[in-house]
Amino acid sequence: MRSPLSSINKNRAALLERGVTVGRMTVSRQLSREFGLKSNKPARKPRLTPAMKAKRLAFAKKHQDWTPAQWGQVMFSDEFTLQQFVVKKRHVRRPRETRFNDKYTISTMKHPPSQMICGAISEHGVTGISFLPPGTTINGPRYVELLAEKLKIHMAVHNCIIFMQAGAPCHRSKVAKTFLPENRIKVLDWTGNSPDLNPIQNL
């Protein structure tokens, strides 16, 4: 089996082309019992380009000697879009010729309501969650407004001196890149840039 995504039928067809007559269940049993290749849903993860992987690896190597006390001074932030009527189930068992029976279908909505939320976390706990107006997304200016209103307060409460954000476009916007240094906020990012931590306070 060259591809882990190959179905039982494709594997059986490949064997038949080679003159090996075998049933579908036999192929399934052999893959599962003989080779330990059980059928599972693939794990989902963000698509990373080689450049993204290289940056993350460089970041990990550069900070591999950081102590828990150093990481304790970092506040991590991120945004997430919450959507109603998200369909998680992908399989249904049904009799033949009943595909469109209401009992065996899943209702969907073309434009479901969505809500973007923003928050942060440190070793001292989580911050309050900020809700953007329904149906809106965050851009550079709106992100800076949120930072100006919340960031310094949260960092002071959590006793953090370093801010780490994800790689969203609004984080890389010109207004965000201008706002953070102007407000003397030390930033740690995936490109490997590290703030000066000498001396580390309260160690």
Whether the CA torsion 12, 14, 15, 16 is positive or negative: it is positive
Domain residue spans of the chain:
1-42, 50-108+115-188
* 165: alpha, beta or left? (left if phi > 0; alpha if psi -120 to 50): beta
What distance in Å separates the CA atoms of residue 57 and residue 187, rounded to the nearest whole number?
18
Average pLDDT over residues 132-161: 88
The pTM (predicted TM-score) of the whole model is: 0.63
| pLDDT tens digits along 91-126 | 666 777 887 777 767 666 666 677 788 889 999 999
* Mean residue pLDDT across the chain: 79
Position 91 scores a pLDDT of 64
Of the candidates 78, 71, 59, the residue with the CA atom closest to the CA atom of residue 190: 59
- 72 and 162 in contact (C-beta within 8 Å)? no
Superfamily, domain 50-108+115-188: Ribonuclease H-like superfamily/Ribonuclease H (3.30.420.10)
Report whether pLDDT(139) > 50: yes
| pLDDT tens digits along 49-69 | 898 888 889 988 989 999 999
